[in-house]
Structure 1
């Protein structure tokens, strides 16, 4: 070591360690053990060197007895011949049982489990520690964990659809039962059976319904409560992130309307002789938005297509021909129900949410029905010639209405600005006529 011209104590000790390990072809496991022991020796030596203020005379005087002692140097004869030793992780299950047999026979099971739990926590694996406790406490819980793990790792079982998710797909795609069964046969583990969809569908049904041969109606309060509950289940993750104040200031904004229609007569037996199934008059509402916070500025949910019948909730329908008197009667019926509405409260994972109701009046039956409007805007040039209005005015109005009813998110500012520009250009011509 003196011939190496090493200056610092750290360099001398590192040279000594490398020289000792290079004497023989030691196994990786023994090298690791030796380095761990030698690091402790180096730490003690450095500490004493520092206490001697890095002066050789003072160091030799203070540690004379220790320096005159002996140090055991590893010898090749310490290792048995044969194949090199394996680390515990690389051993087979049989070898692991043999190596841990002594520990298992001398130490209680609870001590071993607690040691494993503490090791997992020290490594930051708290979830693994909790699972270990649950498995150790209950044999049935261990069986459930095993079954769930086996199911999650089986081919084709990675993302199993819940009955409600499969039902949403079924409705959105407008599938028949036969079509769904064909899709399900491609991967039976992914899609639940059709009976599970029927059970999920029944959970969506409104219970308080009155049905006769001439009409069917439901209690509006019960229908809105059911709607709020279904929307809350869909928005559960987002609702749970709200603050306490926001949970108590939720508002669901809805619009309602009524209209009549004609249909093919099916020879329905009706007790009321004045009615006929050739005509039907319906009142319904659509949830448009859920807001919360000060002045309801925070939007929790927005109906992507408020003009679509997709989320329409029927309140009452009757086999009766539309007329002014029937329309007024229906308006009075719905407004009376709206005036009696109260706030709704639901509970999700132990958290209470309060929904206030805001019901606005939409359109209701008139002579300009949907078919007439569509025919009018289908040919804006002809419509402009007939009523004597500027073509650009009608065309831009057609674009605005199509954008509103498209079901897609639109830039309202751009749409209204473009429509207003065309309206302003056409207003002089309209005013003159």
Structure 2
């Protein structure tokens, strides 16, 4: 069909394309969008006035259906697109009109080049002053409904300096674009703030330009967990296989240390060793009203087995190079769970747990990690120092709490400093259990002060000079015996004064880094995560949520990137300083974490 001076062809346009055209309309009102669509289709088809009625009729059915479907989708674009996917694929047939005109076709002013625009407006600019043109532009924008544009044109023409200010503001706005966080950065915020899903969704809705939706947080969480197959979860026990847990720790540390690993030699990559401390501890817990499958089970007590990575180093030609050093070895931030059981801590349970870990330790394999510059091979050294006195006594079959598990002496012989003793070398691997040492020393002093009238008996990030410490400890023990011969030392006092130097000399890391503090802190976290971050309708799901939260909050990559809180530098008395090695004898660490080596423990070495 042809009209006078026009040629008609046909084109099919999908309803999805019509929907996209409406989205270009700045006005959010549905009637404004419909009018905008109609104008755009008229421009696109170049429909003459004689055929406008036919075009509007073609659009009328689409408009009616769109309003119905948009309303049923509650004005939500995502829901509308999802619910009407098939409808949007349908097409409408429109006539495309073109004028029968010889020569070059005319182009709309908006589509013209700058040169063509200057040519077309040359006559207008020569006849009309700049002030009149500016005022006309202001009024035209106002008539089109663009009130903000009209006001800006008016403001920038009041004084010449205002245009400069507007330009500077626009330039600074473009430069200071808000940087959106990466999923890893947002997950670190999520963990640091102990957010729940609901809290994060509120934060996201308040500023979507910075904080991503919770689904991205969920994906980032999965990187913090070992493989699903390596975890076993029941009503009374939750466990991660030791080999898989160590593989995951190594992978996360290597990701954090990518710049460092790129610069090490092939020999160093083949001789990496990760030093880890581990231990077990029991604690009482609140009992929940959830039912167990077996009536004999109870959740009144838990027994946790956990580990903390301390140092990643390379060992080549007798030279040790430290690639990563745990900045807070006594913090729960790096304390990763191995096995958690709802069981009361007894001697048999403790020994069973120690044998269980030692069996897995003997069967450990190297971890192989592929990098852009070759393969990494990591072996492991596990130190069972994250234990308290009860565990040490159970592991060495020491039945009395008043007997030293290192040398076997009882309290009645502690004050006999000249008595020859044989140290059990196997017991030295448990360290000194220094977390409660200060309390025990002070407790011993209190007992002395209580009984003085009747005289009857019923640290730090520095390396210690072992010889000076041994001399100082022996002198202290001698002074103790001289003053309080009638009151035997407590096992803790005896262990540190008489065996402290021996244990320190046999330790491959500073003694403060081997403390049990991190494991003790994990007991309160278990209670907290069980109360606030777990599903209560099923015991298995509850336990799964707890270990996931423990793994998440101790992820090596997140914890290494965490900014350590600044603490006041510790001051030592002259006697303490005299027991430390000079600064030039300390080991150098080949990472950029030196400024963050603030230990959260009161005992560093």
Task: Please report the TM-score for the alignment, with normalisation by the length of structure 1.
Answer: 0.53
Task: Select which of 354, 357, 366 maps to 1:343.
Answer: 366
1:192-232: CA deviations, max 9, x gaps?
33321111001211221111111111211111111111111
State whether residues 281 and 391 of structure 2, in contact with CA within 8 Å, keep that contact through their aligned partners in structure 1. Answer: no
Which blocks of at least 5 consecutive residues in structure 1 are unaligned?
1-92, 96-152, 390-399, 404-409
Task: Select which of 358, 375, 378 maps to 1:355.
Answer: 378
Matches within 5 A, 1:117-266: 154=174, 157=177, 159-177=179-197, 180=200, 188-206=208-226, 207=228, 208-266=230-288
1:162 offset after TM fit, Å? Answer: 1.4
In 1: Cα distance, 2:374 partner to 2:475 partner: 55
In 1: Cα distance, 2:274 partner to 2:207 partner: 39
1:173 offset after TM fit, Å? Answer: 3.8
In 2: Cα distance, 1:298 partner to 1:413 partner: 20
Task: Select which of 348, 365, 373 maps to 1:325.
Answer: 348
Alpha-carbon distance change, 296 to 204 in structure 1, aligned in 2, over 3 angstroms: farther
In 2: Cα distance, 1:425 partner to 1:173 partner: 48
State whether residues 178 and 209 of structure 2, in contact with CA within 8 Å, keep that contact through their aligned partners in structure 1. Answer: no
State whether residues 156 and 189 of structure 1, in contact with CA within 8 Å, keep that contact through their aligned partners in structure 2. Answer: no
Alpha-carbon distance change, 282 to 188 in structure 1, aligned in 2, over 3 angstroms: same
- 2:411 pairs with 1:411: no
State whether residues 247 and 353 of structure 1, in contact with CA within 8 Å, keep that contact through their aligned partners in structure 2. Answer: yes
* RMSD of aligned alpha carbons: 3.6
1:376-395: CA deviations, max 9, x gaps?
84696664130579xxxxxx
Q: Relative contact order: is structure 1 or structure 2 higher (C-alpha 8 Å, sep ≥ 6)?
A: 2
State whether residues 277 and 309 of structure 2, in contact with CA within 8 Å, keep that contact through their aligned partners in structure 1. Answer: yes
In 2: Cα distance, 1:384 partner to 1:321 partner: 32
1:42-67: CA deviations, max 9, x gaps?
xxxxxxxxxxxxxxxxxxxxxxxxxx
1:249 offset after TM fit, Å? Answer: 1.1
User: What's the counterpart of residue 385 of structure 1?
Assistant: 446
1:178 offset after TM fit, Å? Answer: 5.3
State whether residues 233 and 239 of structure 2, in contact with CA within 8 Å, keep that contact through their aligned partners in structure 1. Answer: yes
Compare CA radii of gyration and give the structure with the larger one.
1
1:239 offset after TM fit, Å? Answer: 1.2
User: What's the counterpart of residue 102 of structure 1?
Assistant: none
1:245 offset after TM fit, Å? Answer: 1.3
1:374 offset after TM fit, Å? Answer: 7.6
Which blocks of at least 5 consecutive residues in structure 2 are unaligned?
1-112, 116-172, 393-432, 451-458, 486-605
1:234-267: CA deviations, max 9, x gaps?
1112111211111111111111111111011013
User: What's the counterpart of residue 339 of structure 2?
Assistant: 316
In 2: Cα distance, 1:417 partner to 1:158 partner: 58
1:271 offset after TM fit, Å? Answer: 3.9
Alpha-carbon distance change, 219 to 307 in structure 1, aligned in 2, over 3 angstroms: same
Alpha-carbon distance change, 241 to 387 in structure 1, aligned in 2, over 3 angstroms: farther
In 1: Cα distance, 2:329 partner to 2:469 partner: 21
1:14-70: CA deviations, max 9, x gaps?
xxxxxxxxxxxxxxxxxxxxxxxxxxxxxxxxxxxxxxxxxxxxxxxxxxxxxxxxx
User: What's the counterpart of residue 140 of structure 2?
Assistant: none
Secondary structure of the 1:256 match is strand
State whether residues 376 and 383 of structure 1, in contact with CA within 8 Å, keep that contact through their aligned partners in structure 2. Answer: no
State whether residues 280 and 318 of structure 1, in contact with CA within 8 Å, keep that contact through their aligned partners in structure 2. Answer: yes
Matches within 5 A, 1:58-69: none
Matches within 5 A, 1:25-64: none
- 2:319 pairs with 1:282: no
In 2: Cα distance, 1:350 partner to 1:411 partner: 35
In 2: Cα distance, 1:191 partner to 1:349 partner: 31
In 2: Cα distance, 1:334 partner to 1:381 partner: 34
User: What's the counterpart of residue 364 of structure 1?
Assistant: 387
State whether residues 312 and 324 of structure 2, in contact with CA within 8 Å, keep that contact through their aligned partners in structure 1. Answer: yes
Task: Select which of 471, 478, 486 maps to 1:428.
Answer: 478
